[in-house]
Amino acid sequence: MLLLIPGPVTTRPEVRQAMAQDIAPWDNDFRPRYAAMRARVLGIANAPAETHDAICFGGCGHFGIEAAIRSFLPAGGRILIPQVGAYAERMARLANEAGRIAVPLAMDPDAPVSPQAVAAALAADPEITHVGLVYNETGTGVVHDPASIGDVVRAAGRRVILDAVSAFGALPLDISAHPEIDAAVFTSNKCLEGLPGLVFAICRKDRLEGTAGNAGSWSFDLADILAGYARGPGVIRFTPPAQVMLAFMTALDLFDAEGGQPARLARYRANTAALYTGMQGIGMVPYLPFAVQGPIVMNIHAPTDPAWSLQGFVDALKRRGYLISNFYNTPQPSFRVGCIGALTPEDMRGFVQATDAALVELGVHHRLPGQTAA
C-alpha cells in the first residue's frame, strides 16, 4: 500500500526495519546518538549550534506548535496569524486554548501571504509580539514565504513561530539568516520520511533562557527541555519513542544519500508535476493554477457526477494499493493527494491510472466540477 497523504508518509523498508529492537533511551550508549540526531537536524536548517537547539520530544506536530506558543508567548500574549487555511486555523485554536490571543489576519488563502499586509497589521497593533506562519499550508497546498515575511517581522521588532511541519526537509529554511524565528516546528513523519512520533522545535536558546514555567505546562515547556540538555548531552526528561528515533536516524541517512533538501524538493516537484499533468490528462481539474501549486500536497476538484462519493473513491483506490485522505480542507469539495514520502513520479503515474479505473468502477462519467450528469 502506498500512502499518498501529506503525513504520515510512505517510508522506505530500511526505515521501518530500524525500529525492530529493544533499547533504553537514557542508556549511556544511546544519549550521544540522540544528541547527534538533534545536531543533524540543526544542520538541515543551517542553524548554528552555538545559538540554537533542536528541541525534541515525543508527540505530533500540534504538540510542538502548542509548546512553541506556550513557551515563547506570555499568558495573554498576542500572536498574529495570517488565515491561509486549515492549519493556520488550528494554530489559532492552539493559541486561544492555551490562553494566548490569536489575532487573525484575513487573506486570500489561494495566494502567498503578502509581507506588506503583515507589516501593516503589526504596525496597527503594537501589542502583537509574534507572527504565527504556516510555511506550507497543507489544507490548500500553497507555500508561503517565511523569508520575505520574516524580513518585515524582524524590521518591526517582532518574532516568528513557524509551522514548518509539512515543509521541513523539502522547502529551504536558513535559520541563520532569520534570527526573528523563535521556533520552527516539524515532525519526523513528513518530508524527512521517518515514522510518526517525534516532534522538533528548532529554537533560539537565548530566547528561552530563564523562561522555564512560562509555558504553564510542564509537558510542553521547551525551556525545561532545554535546561535538561544543559545538564548533559542527550538528557531526556520523559520516555520518548526511542524506536521512532532509530528509524528517524536511518531516514536522515537516506536523506543525506539522496542529496539533502535540494534533491528532496526536486523529487517532490517532479511528483507534483507528474500528478498535475496526469490528472488533467484524465479530465480532472486540479484546485490551484500550477503557478501557485506547491510541491507537497495537491487538491483536485471532486466531480459533481451523482455517482461520486469521496469514501467510495477512497475505498476503490485502496483496493488498487493507494491510500488517500477521506476528508478535504477546501471550500469546494475536493480530494487531496500527498506528493511527499518515499514516492517517485512513476508512483504518481500509477496513481493516476488507478484514479481513472476507480472512477470508471464508481460510474463517474462527468469528471469536471460544476457540471451535472446528463
Ligand X SMILES: *Cc1c(COP(=O)(O)O)cnc(C)c1O
For position 79 contacting ligand X by CB under 6 A, the verdict is: no
Greatest Cα pair distance in the chain: 71
Query: By C-beta, is 245 or 358 nearer to ligand X?
Result: 245
Encoded amino acid at 248, one letter: F
> Where does this chain touch ligand X (CB under 6 A) — which range of 56-64, 123-131, 142-150, 224-232?
56-64
Candidate list 83, 187, 271, 330; residue touching ligand X; CB under 6 A: 187
Q: Comparing C-alpha atoms, which of 319, 328, 264 is closest to residue 296?
A: 264
Give min distance, CB of 165 to ligand X, in A. Answer: 4
Which DSSP letter does residue 215 get?
T
Please select the residue that binds ligand X; options are 71, 138, 188, 355, rule is CB under 6 A.
138
CB nearer ligand X, residue 165 or residue 184: 165
341-370 binders of ligand X (CB under 6 A): none
The minimum distance between CB 31 and ligand X, in angstroms, equals: 26
Helix or strand or coil: residue 274?
Answer: helix
Residue choice 134, 173, 215, 284 for contact with ligand X (CB under 6 A): 134
Does the protein bind ligand X through residue 165 (CB under 6 A)?
yes
Piece of 55-63, 115-123, 148-156, 249-257 that binds ligand X (CB under 6 A): 55-63
CB 288 within 8 A of CB 139: no
Least Cβ distance, residue 64 to ligand X (angstroms): 8
Q: What dihedral angle (degrees, nearest 10) is formed by the CA atoms of 33, 296, 139, 286?
A: -170
Q: Which is nearer to ligand X, 38 or 62 (CB)?
A: 62
Residue nearest to ligand X (CB): 61
DSSP 12: -
Radius of gyration of the chain (CA): 21
Cα separation, 15 vs 246, whole angstroms: 8
11 binds ligand X, rule: CB under 6 A: no
Nearest to 361 by CA among 300, 320, 325, 301: 320
Neighbours of 53 (CB within 10 A): 24
**Residues within the interface to ligand X (CB under 6 A):** 6-7, 60-62, 87, 134, 138, 163, 165-166, 187
